[in-house]
Chains A and B, each alone.
Chain A
Amino acid sequence: MCSQVTTAVIEFSGFLISVHPEQLNFCGIYRVFETLLPEGWQWLAFGLGAFSLAFFVVNSLIAVGAIYTWFERRAIGRFQSRLGPNRWGPFGLLQPLADILKLITKEDTTPSVADRPVFALAPIILLVPAFMVFAVIPFGDQTFLGRLNIGVLFIVGVTGINTFGILMGGWGSRNKYAILGAMRGVAMLISYEVPMALAIAGVVVLGGSLSLLQIVGAQHVPFILVQPLGFLVFMTAASAEMSRAPFDMIEAESELGAGYHTEYSGIKFAIFQLGEFMAPLVTAAIATVLFLGGTRGWDPVPGPVWFVAKAFAVVFFLLWVRTTWPRLRVDQIMGFAWKGLFPLALLNIFFVAIEVVVFQDADTGMLIDGSLWWMAVTNWILTVVSIIVLANVLGQSRLKPSTPVPSQLANMGAEAD
């Protein structure tokens, strides 16, 4: 590891310190510690380097998440003709700080009948996957931590862990609302994993690799254009995965109190909230990499800026959907997963697989730009057709309003007179 000679991130020469931002990855930081430590202490340099990089990444993610809470509340306020938090700091920008301070200073209560280890572990298990996903997201030409060649598999596996967090939170609380919310939430999360994984499988077929860097490299045409059906299924399933409106069954306020975190307070509740607000950022990062072309863009603007801009667009769309749509019923949500999204995801992977076989170059197995555009045109038509057909098969008769039957009691008053 780190065998190639790289210049250190920070060079000390007298009092002058020069920073090389292009080396701000694990190898660069490892070099810094290696030059500072004596011979034979490479293991310590390795540990310190890994720790400092993880420290940097996790803290910047927490900061971004905190700012995002402010943004989400302000934007939703405007969407709904309200104001949102605006008292503390310019435009209310210090509101996240105030929230965190309030939650930290509050008493951290545990119910006396709670399953204590499970209760205490649940927030951490919910939050950690959100950070782990960012280890493999390519923000630039490189990833932060791991150059994994099975990044897609890693993402699908790691994001599945938060199901455990929710179930543990609900079970450990020993509260009927918590366990109800957790159980129906887990049923929903597991159901929506299936169409999401199938939509990602379409991307893998098209990109020809499980490595996120290679998927980004394969997107000469962004995959949102090549397989719009997959993007639709992915976004729907992902917004269900992060259990936000219109799929916020887990903590349906009007039905369940606060759902799985009813019994939580203090710093544990803060961690739950942070995990919940990190979810759209994670989803936006994954969607950007898989469907929007990651760091690809036009030249004068650098790649990371493109990445952030695309991720912001996805976040904004998720916000817009959240603020507009009402919550669905439990049976509607489950039916939509298995009867709506599941067939659509299967159709998508079916179309894409056939097209890849038809269009790919016989010798190299590669797809050229022209064939990608042809696939885009075909797939848009197929998307519209399949959605219309499925909607007619599924819902036409049920959506018709039933004819009202006059009540037997309607004219009783008139007869009595």
Chain B
Amino acid sequence: MYGLGIAKAMAITLKNLVLPSRLFTVHQYPDRKIGLLGMAKRAETNPITYIMKNPLEAAKSLVGLVSVEDRLPQHPRFRGEEFTWYEQRCTGCASCAKYCPLGIIRIVTEPSGDFVSEGDKYAIEVFDIDIGRCMFCGLCVEACPYDALHMGSGFEEGRYSRSELIIDVDRLRSAPKRPSTWFRPQFEAIGYDPRSDGEIDWHEAGRHQKPTVPELEDRWSNR
């Protein structure tokens, strides 16, 4: 029978229009408009109670003015931008700059102050990472002998010019310390998730447990 296929196709598209369960295979990013039902679900009440409690918010959600942040689900090992850097751990050895296959890391150090002695570390003057050319291979992170540099977990780096894509040392210092757990088994051991958990201190970022004072004394002075 002719025309049956046409009718079937039109029924399918009509189903898409009418049935809410078939909606939106497309994910909306970075935030999502939610209606009254969604608002009530988030507040863990039923819609009527929600309208009674916050009539203004309910009206706004009915007109479609309320949007909530909607993050893409992501693995903690995701290799993102915004490198996390712990200045306290960094010695300025520039291993990362040497191992970078694209040569996009630039480090300039100077001896820290007047009292330089053997084993003292260097102060970092310049630490530029040009993530506009970075391919996020993570070799710099693998190369870091003191676990000072980690991959970040962000990916929203839309900018208007390439020069804004260079991460400098001030930005590395002030950025929130949420390292990706890629190549860092110590984070995975404690089940750290950069998306949901808080910041991690530099003490905990090391590959080994921080030795206690008696252990240090046993190792260095009591022999």
Contact = CB atoms under 8 A, between A and B. Distances in A.
Interface of A: 75, 78-83, 86, 90-91, 320-321, 323-325, 388, 391, 395
A78 B64 contact: no
B2 A323 contact: no
B26 interface: yes
A321 B65 CA distance: 31
A83 B16 contact: no
A83 B9 contact: no
A81 B25 contact: yes
Given A80-B13, A83-B26, A388-B2, 4 more contacts: A78-B17, A79-B14, A320-B13, A320-B14
Contact of A395 (B2, B23, B63): B2
A286 B65 CA distance: 37
Interface string B22-52: 1111101000010000000000000000000
A83 B24 contact: yes
A80 B13 CA distance: 7
B28 A80 contact: no
Nearest to A326: B9
Interface residues of B, number: 19
Contact of A320 (B10, B22, B28, B64): B10
Most A CB within 10 A of own CB, among B10, B13, B26 = B13
Contacts of B25: 81-82
Given A86-B33, A90-B64, A90-B65, A79 B2 contact: no
B14 A82 contact: no
A81 B22 contact: yes
Contacts of B26: 81-83
5 contacts: A83-B26, A324-B9, A325-B6, A325-B9, A391-B2
Contacts, number: 44
Contacts of A388: 2
Nearest to A391: B2
Contacts of A75: 17
Contacts of A391: 2
Contacts of A320: 10, 13-14
Interface string B67-82: 0000000000000000
B64 A324 contact: no
B63 A324 contact: no
Contacts of A78: 16-17, 23
Nearest to B6: A325
B13 A324 contact: yes
Contact of A81 (B14, B16, B65): B16
Contacts of A83: 24, 26, 28
B23 to A, nearest CB: 6
A1 B222 CA distance: 118
A323 B64 contact: no
Contacts of B17: 75, 78-79
A391 B65 CA distance: 51
A72 B188 CA distance: 49
Contacts of B12: 324
Contact of B10 (A81, A82, A91, A324): A324
Interface string B49-67: 0000000000000011100
Contacts of B28: 83, 86
Nearest to A93: B64
Interface in B73-117: none
Interface string B113-148: 000000000000000000000000000000000000
Given A81-B24, A81-B26, A83-B26, A323 B65 contact: no
Contacts of B22: 81
Contact of B13 (A79, A90, A395): A79
B23 A81 contact: yes
Contacts of A395: 2
A252 B178 CA distance: 49
Nearest to A82: B26
Contacts of B14: 79, 320
A83 B6 CA distance: 24
B89 to A, nearest CB: 42
Nearest to A84: B26
A63 B120 CA distance: 73
B152 to A, nearest CB: 27
A90 B26 CA distance: 20
Nearest to B60: A90
Given A75-B17, A78-B17, A80-B13, A90 B63 contact: yes
A321 B6 CA distance: 10
Given A86-B33, A325-B6, A391-B2, A79 B63 contact: no
Contacts of B2: 388, 391, 395
A298 to B, nearest CB: 27
A158 to B, nearest CB: 31
Question: Which 6 A-B pairs rank lowest in CB-CB distance, beginning with the nearest?
Answer: A90-B64, A324-B13, A79-B13, A91-B64, A81-B25, A391-B2
A323 B10 CA distance: 9
A81 B25 CA distance: 6
A82 B22 CA distance: 10
Contacts of A321: 10
A82 B13 CA distance: 12
A67 to B, nearest CB: 16
A392 B17 CA distance: 34
